[in-house]
């Protein structure tokens, strides 16, 4: 019966795995509904690290059916590399279901992503270079390639031809690159068709049936609220809908079936790529967060930009996603600080803003207004009950809860699966 949405509250890399770990084997289906291999989650199970970029996290739970929804863009080479990598480590991927309507990242879109960024120079977005933006642009322009096209050689050829007629003009005339031939693209995509075929289904029906049977369906967002193409810090965003609304369009599950929206909020803030970031730190504190929190991208290895927790963003995430529960991650990283600053509002040219400014330009020069909370020095890694947290850490969580306007149901205190404090169950 219940469909649960899981989103990131900030700019990504909040650690959604913490929430999925907590729900564990009770989740029957995990659906990826947006993005592609620009995402990256590292999951640690029994001390073994798994870095996934495209496959939904549920792939590691034998009882769970992982679903790649229609809202996803798929790089077939990456898909099969991840499948082969997991199979080699004894993880079965037999249950994976892929939407026939998901879009394929064609090789020319990877090329275009990279050359466009280079062309933009200082105005670049700082994309992951995986072809995500150009593939979503094709989808909206109605010249994209979908999974189902792979099974009709003739249609695929027509579509690739139509796309390349334009792309090659851009590649050769604007970017001075070589043209890509239809055969090259067909040769890259077609060999995957036979392996992909048994996984492909009308995932909207698969999920409807699952919900009718009373299964727990988790819709897991890639990226996060402020990277959402509509609600994020445009244009420094990804090209898909990473908020709760996107869970419906990207999966075909109607809004009326969603019962809970869980948002993950890191106890501080990070961001990769370009774009505004009011609480960003350029000093030793920023370095402390980066080193202690090991803030380096799973997908690109880039050092993440780091800053204090911003509860204006937290409140915004609550509003845009209709958050019912927050999971705070990496609280342990803040251990050892004398005081812990929380951004509660912005100062924009002398005017206080308690909510996200309407205009992006205001957000670009928003100065954080901080509240300083007492720090703690005790090790949190073995704490499993809220009452056992140091008083200052408890006070920190309660103040954050008050500021973001939704309850904090769980708190991460270390990278391990079991290093979590549960205050309220995430599943009914």
Nearer to ligand IMP, 11 or 396 (CB): 11
Of 8-16, 191-199, 210-218, 387-395, which part binds ligand IMP (CB under 6 A)?
8-16
Binding of ligand IMP at residue 239 (CB under 6 A)? yes
Nearer to ligand IMP, 101 or 109 (CB): 109
Residue 68, phi then psi, degrees to nearest 5: -100, 110
Query: What interhelical angle do 391-404 and 311-321 show, nearest 10?
Result: 50
396 touches 371 (CB < 8 A): no
Catalytic positions, please?
13, 41
State how far the Cα of 425 lies from the Cα of 136, in Å rounded to an integer. 36
Binding of ligand IMP at residue 31 (CB under 6 A)? no
Instruction: Single out the residue of 15, 40, 144, 245 in contact with ligand IMP (rule: CB under 6 A).
Output: 40
Binding of ligand IMP at residue 341 (CB under 6 A)? no
Instruction: Single out the residue of 128, 241, 269, 324 in contact with ligand IMP (rule: CB under 6 A).
Output: 128
Compute how many residues bind ligand IMP; rule: CB under 6 A: 21
DSSP-assigned states of every residue in 307-374: E-EEHHHHHHHHHHHT-SEEEEE-GGGGTT-SEEEEEEEEEETTEEESS--SSHHHHHTPEEEEEEEE
**Strand pairing category for 65-68 and 97-99:** parallel
State how far the Cα of 348 lies from the Cα of 282, in Å rounded to an integer. 20
Residue number of the CB closest to ligand IMP reads 273
- Which class for 386: exposed (0-12), middle (13-18), buried (19 or more C-beta within 10 A)? middle
Token readout for 24 is 């564990």
Binding of ligand IMP at residue 263 (CB under 6 A)? no
360 touches 233 (CB < 8 A): yes
Instruction: Single out the residue of 2, 85, 107, 126 in contact with ligand IMP (rule: CB under 6 A).
Output: 126
Binding of ligand IMP at residue 245 (CB under 6 A)? no
Instruction: Report how far apart the first and last C-alpha atoms of the chain are (Å, whole number).
Output: 11
Nearer to ligand IMP, 161 or 234 (CB): 234
Binding of ligand IMP at residue 132 (CB under 6 A)? yes
Instruction: Single out the residue of 20, 61, 65, 238 in contact with ligand IMP (rule: CB under 6 A).
Output: 238
Site residues for ligand IMP, 279-338, by CB under 6 A, read: none
State how far the Cα of 330 lies from the Cα of 413, in Å rounded to an integer. 6
Nearer to ligand IMP, 34 or 203 (CB): 34
Binding of ligand IMP at residue 125 (CB under 6 A)? yes
Nearer to ligand IMP, 266 or 315 (CB): 266
Cis bond upstream, residue 178 (ω within 30): no
Binding of ligand IMP at residue 226 (CB under 6 A)? no
Binding of ligand IMP at residue 223 (CB under 6 A)? yes
Sites of contact with ligand IMP (CB under 6 A): 11-13, 38-40, 125-128, 130, 132-133, 222-223, 227, 236, 238-239, 272-273
């Amino acid at each position: 019966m219940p469909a649960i949405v899981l989103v990131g509250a900030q700019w990504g890399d909040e650690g959604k795995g913490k929430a999925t770990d907590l729900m564990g084997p009770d989740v029957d289906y995990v659906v990826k509904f947006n993005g592609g291999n620009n995402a990256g989650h590292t999951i640690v199970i029994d001390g073994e690290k798994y870095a996934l970029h495209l496959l939904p996290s549920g792939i590691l739970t034998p009882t769970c059916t992982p679903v790649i929804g229609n809202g996803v863009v798929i790089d077939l080479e990456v898909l099969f590399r991840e499948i082969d990598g997991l199979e080699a480590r004894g993880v079965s991927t037999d249950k994976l279901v892929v939407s026939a309507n998901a879009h394929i990242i064609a090789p020319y879109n990877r090329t275009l992503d990279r050359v466009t960024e280079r062309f933009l120079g200082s105005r670049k977005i700082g994309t992951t270079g995986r072809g995500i933006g150009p593939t979503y642009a094709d989808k909206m322009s109605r010249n994209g390639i979908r999974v189902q096209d792979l099974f009709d050689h003739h249609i695929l050829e027509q579509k690739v031809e139509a796309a390349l007629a334009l792309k090659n003009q851009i590649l050769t005339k604007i970017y001075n690159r070589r043209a890509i031939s239809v055969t090259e693209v067909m040769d890259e995509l077609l060999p995957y068709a036979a392996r992909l075929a048994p996984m492909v289904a009308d995932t909207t029906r698969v999920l409807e049936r699952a919900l009718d049977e009373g299964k727990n369906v988790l819709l897991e967002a890639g990226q996060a609220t402020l990277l959402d193409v509509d609600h994020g810090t445009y244009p420094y965003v990804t090209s898909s809908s990473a908020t709760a609304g996107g869970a419906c369009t990207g999966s075909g599950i109607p809004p009326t079936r969603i019962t809970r929206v869980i948002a993950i909020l890191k106890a501080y803030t990070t961001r990769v790529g370009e774009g505004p970031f009011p609480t960003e730190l350029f000093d030793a504190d920023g370095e402390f967060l980066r080193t202690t929190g090991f803030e380096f991208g799973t997908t690109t290895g880039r050092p993440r930009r780091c800053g204090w927790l911003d509860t204006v963003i937290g409140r915004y995430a609550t509003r845009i996603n209709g958050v019912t529960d927050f999971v705070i991650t990496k609280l342990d990283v803040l251990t050892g600080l004398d005081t812990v600053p929380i951004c509660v509002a912005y100062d924009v040219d002398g005017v206080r803003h308690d909510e996200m400014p309407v205009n992006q330009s205001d957000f670009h020069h928003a100065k954080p207004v901080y509240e300083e909370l007492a720090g703690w020095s005790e090790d949190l890694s073995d704490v499993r009950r809220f009452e056992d947290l140091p008083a200052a850490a408890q006070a920190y969580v309660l103040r954050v809860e008050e500021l973001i306007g939704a309850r904090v149901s769980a708190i991460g205190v270390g990278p391990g699966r079991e290093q979590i404090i549960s205050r309220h169950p995430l599943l009914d």
